[in-house]
Amino acid sequence: MVDLKTTLCGITMDNPIIPASGTFGYGYEFAELYDINCLGSFSFKGTTREPRFGNPLPRIAECNDGMINAVGLQNPGVDAVIAKEMPKLAACFNKPVMANVSGFSIDEYTEVVQKLDNQEQIGWFEVNISCPNVHGGGMAFGTTCEGAAAVTKAVRQVTKKPLIIKLSPNVTNIVEIAKACESEGADGISLINTLLGMRIDLKTKKPVIANKMGGFSGHAILPVALRMVYQVYEACDIPIVGMGGVQTAEEVIEMMLAGATAVEVGAANLVNPFACKEIIEDLPRVMDKYNIKSLSEIIGGAH
């Protein structure tokens, strides 16, 4: 009998699989398709202080082995999330959930976390300082050690819940930024968010996406994600939530060997809404194939 359990920042999960923020809504949409309590957890849609419609259309561009999106943090705002989304979430999911928080200023990050902090079902905060699809916020904080550290320090002061900082791969030195977050009290690191990309329409001879550029995700970015998880694991002593191009149970194990304690699955959910369920169901077979008895014992095993 294999053991799928893992412990992320002091919270034990039945398995390491977490649908990534922005690909799983607030959970109840997928609960109409299957019992989402089979998941380890999930990271709900990026939440900001005010409601956001997001970026102008079109927002999506297809690529070989991936996609580009520039949704722009569309969400109903933190007050509506607390009043409407959290009760619906609680009705279909009975485990701790990960709250993904975004902002355009340090004050906004802290205000959103403060408002969400008394929601009992929130187990972790995943603070997104890496969104490439909005101007004047998001990734602007995550591309320097100083910006990442400032957000981490401020949010650390307003919650005692585990604080996981989500980092951008669009930087020259991911390790130094991760270390800056750790030094200011981060309990964990999520990486990677999307790479910055674009497509051009040959008929119009203009960018496909109205925002011109967007976040490139999907299977093609897996090698980049694995490399960065591996590097950060060597440099930091806090757990890593690995993500980026993961589609199969084999790739979950590969990500954990690189150093991930838990693994988020993103773009795959947009192609196949049962992707996470199928990965969880296939993990015991793959573990048997590679003579793995416990997932928690292989974390960082490639080092």
Segments making up each domain of the chain, as ranges: 6-55+73-200+221-298
The residue type of 48 is T
DSSP 74-121: -B--HHHIIIIIHHHHHHH--S-EEEEE--SSHHHHHHHHHHHTT-TT
> Edge to edge, what strands does the sheet with 260-265 contain?
17-19, 260-265, 240-243, 188-191, 163-166, 122-128, 97-101
pLDDT band for position 130 (50/70/90)?
confident
Task: Please provide the average confidence, as pLDDT, over all residues in the chain.
Answer: 95
Tell me what pLDDT residue 156 has.
98
Architecture of domain 6-55+73-200+221-298: Alpha-Beta Barrel (3.20)
**In the structure encoding, which two tokens stand for residue 184, read together?**
């200011």
> Residues 227-249: pLDDT tens digits?
999 999 999 999 999 999 999 99
- Catalytic entry in 9, 131, 181, 276: 131
> Residues 56-103: pLDDT tens digits?
999 999 999 999 999 999 999 999 999 999 999 999 999 999 999 999
Tell me, yes or no, if 63 is annotated catalytic: no
The average pLDDT across 27-33 equals 96
pLDDT band for position 142 (50/70/90)?
confident
CB 121 within 8 A of CB 66: no
Evaluate if residue 131 carries a pLDDT over 90. no
pLDDT band for position 139 (50/70/90)?
low
Q: Which helix (H) or strand (E) holds 226?
A: helix 222-235
**Predicted TM-score (pTM) above 0.85:** yes
